[in-house]
Structure 1
Amino acid sequence: YTDWIARDPVIGKPMWKTFLTTELPRAVDRSLRTSGVNVIGGMSMSATSVLNLAIAEPKLYKGVAAYSGCARTSTLDGYSVIRGTVYIANKANVDNMWGPFGSPLWTKYDPYINAAKLRGQTLYLSSGNGMAGKYDKPGLQAPGAPSLGEQVVVGGALEAAAHTCTTSMAARLRSLRIPATVHLSGNGTHSWGYWQDELHRSWPTLDAALRR
Structure 2
Amino acid sequence: RPIDVIEDAINKKKGFEGIILANVFFENLAYRVISKYLDNNKIKISKKNIKNRVYMIAISIIGLFGFYIGLFFLPLPHLNTVQGNNVGLLLTFPILWILGIITLIARAIVGLWNINQPPILQAINLPEAQGTISSANQFLEAIGSGTGPIIAGAVLALFNNNYQVTVGMTLGLGIIGGMLWLLATRWINKDVNRISEILKERSIELSEKNRNND
TM range (shorter): under 0.3
Bigger fraction of residues in helix? 2
Q: What TM-score, normalized to structure 1?
A: 0.27
Which is bigger in relative contact order (C-alpha 8 A, separation at least 6)? 2
Kindly name which structure, 1 or 2, has the bigger radius of gyration based on alpha carbons.
2
Bigger fraction of residues in strand? 1
Q: What TM-score, normalized to structure 2?
A: 0.27
